[in-house]
Chain A
Amino acid sequence: MTEFPTPPTDVPAIEVVDLYKRFGELEVLKGVSLTVKAGQVVCVIGPSGSGKSTLLRCVNRLEEPTAGQLRVEGIDILDPEIDVDKVRTRIGMVFQQFNLFPHLSVLRNLTLAQRRVLGRGKEEAAEVARQNLERVGLLDKADAYPAHLSGGQQQRAAIARSLSMNPDMMLFDEPTSALDPELVGDVLDVMRNLAGSGMTMMVVTHEMGFAREVGDDLVFMDDGMIVEEGNPRDVLANPRHTRTQSFLSKVL
């Protein structure tokens, strides 16, 4: 299993400072501040519509924040001069709906951006792809098309696709929410291994077990704000805020 080169640990991997995001009239993020240290796994929970996805999508600028600061490995990524594509190669993103490219085989899914963006040669890209497929237990599916994979396999292939870019950190937006219950375990196993190998991760999830076991930090969001943050065990066992208590009483 490959270890990820961790950048200097004194620079936070992700630094969100007083972030605001508004869709027209709707204020979705109302001053969110959050730090993810290198090698840390931060889980984000909260009710539907609280802005979890929006926060995550701001971090790789799939959404443009309205105001605030966003630094990735110390670099201000809201700087208009910055090359967004370059920043994004260092941030892996895993979606609830997998979003594999259906017209390409699994292997081509994994090699496309390596070749187009990183300029890797065909052989090198395929080799990296195969390493990562092995890592998620899908080496035998390299030539299959996404439509022929189960949801859990698709999501693991999507994770392998992100890993093939050798990112410094990974963002997960409810990676198991679209899966049949019996397929959730395999995906969580892959994520657990990834965390164990030192990958920096920000995970929006409803899997409280995963958050408790793997997370270094748990963030509870409600109504566009971070209501409570702390050690996952503490927050889950003894939520201090009433909104956290009522949310957890519904989901646990």
Chain B
Amino acid sequence: MRRTTRRRLRRGILYAIFVAFVALVALAADWGRLRQQFLQIDIAREQFPEIITIAAKNTLLFTVVAFIGGLILGIVLALMKLSTIGPYRWLATGYIELFRGLPALLTIFAMAYVLPIALEIRVPFGQVGAGLVGLILVAGAYMAETIRAGIQGVPKGQAEAARSLGMSPSWTMVSVILPQAFRIIVPPLTNEFVLLIKDTSLLFIAGSTIQTKELTTFTRDAQSVYFNGTPLLMAAMLYLFITIPLTRLVAVLERRMARSR
């Protein structure tokens, strides 16, 4: 009996601390100024429809492009890393170390400003497109490690069975190993997608035109026009609107994976 009373008391105290903390924050905050700075309805209204039709659309478009590009690059790098041919392995290892070791912002910056000058090439979406190439390079490096782990997570007997049936190494990889590897890495890849949504905000470093602004660039520019944070709050809400369902999805997928083991 005394033990339960004590436990109740302890829980009561913890709740009290929480309530006190929230109350303190609520009292300390200057709600008027906050509303002034972040909740101007008319400014919010003026962001439409461009914040959706251009900014959010570009964020999603750039994410999907970076994801698909990174995925293809990641598969190639993972296969190179697992190759029996030394130079392929070294090249892939060097690449992965390099782009995981550099800040993504630096890579994007370099691609956006240095690459177009150095190679004199034009990419779709102009400078942002070039910055996007940087994002793909980084995403590929991260995904390569995930994919490699997935390939190695497929039991060795699977490849042996396929090869014993006379299937070539490449057919074995394509129709037996990769499909199973992908099943293993769907949760981490979805996670990677969420990270990429947020990382497209780094593209603000690559100068953009009105049509190529993604969510962060768009709302930052709007913020400096109005000297008001309302657009930033809207961007935050939009990011969360996309990322939270996806992170929930990852959790569900991971739980399902754990159960199917």
Residues of A within 8 A of B (CB): 60, 62, 85-86, 88-89, 91-93, 95, 97, 99-103, 112-113, 116-118, 158, 161-162, 165
Contact = CB atoms under 8 A, between A and B. Distances in A.
Nearest to A113: B165
B164 interface: yes
Given A101-B176, A102-B180, A112-B175, A117 B165 contact: yes
Main secondary structure of the interface of B (DSSP, over half): helix
Contact of B167 (A60, A99, A117, A162): A117
A88 B164 contact: yes
B180 A103 contact: yes
Q: Which of A91, A92, A97, A161 has the most CB of B within 10 A?
A: A97
Given A93-B160, A97-B157, A165-B165, 15 more contacts: A62-B163, A93-B161, A93-B164, A95-B161, A99-B157, A99-B160, A101-B161, A101-B176, A103-B179, A103-B183, A112-B167, A113-B162, A113-B165, A116-B171, A117-B166
B158 interface: yes
Contacts of A62: 160, 163-164
Interface string B145-180: 000000000010110111111111001000110011
A158 B164 CA distance: 12
A64 to B, nearest CB: 13
6 contacts: A88-B164, A99-B160, A101-B176, A113-B162, A116-B167, A117-B167
Interface size class of B (residues with CB under 8 A): 10 to 19
Q: Which of A86, A89, A92, A99 has the most CB of B within 10 A?
A: A99
Contacts of B183: 103
A101 B158 contact: yes
The 3 lowest CB-CB distance pairs between A and B, nearest first, are: A89-B166, A113-B165, A99-B161
Interface string B130-157: 0000000000000000000000000101
Contacts of A113: 162, 165-167
Interface in B170-220: 171, 175-176, 179-180, 183
A119 B212 CA distance: 49
Nearest to B175: A112
Contact of A161 (B157, B165, B179): B165
Nearest to A165: B165
A103 to B, nearest CB: 5
B160 A85 contact: no
Contacts of B179: 103
B162 to A, nearest CB: 7
Contacts of B162: 101, 113
B185 to A, nearest CB: 14
A88 B162 CA distance: 10
A116 B158 contact: no
B163 A86 contact: no
Contacts of B163: 62, 85, 88
B166 A165 contact: yes
Contact of A88 (B155, B165, B175): B165
Nearest to B165: A113
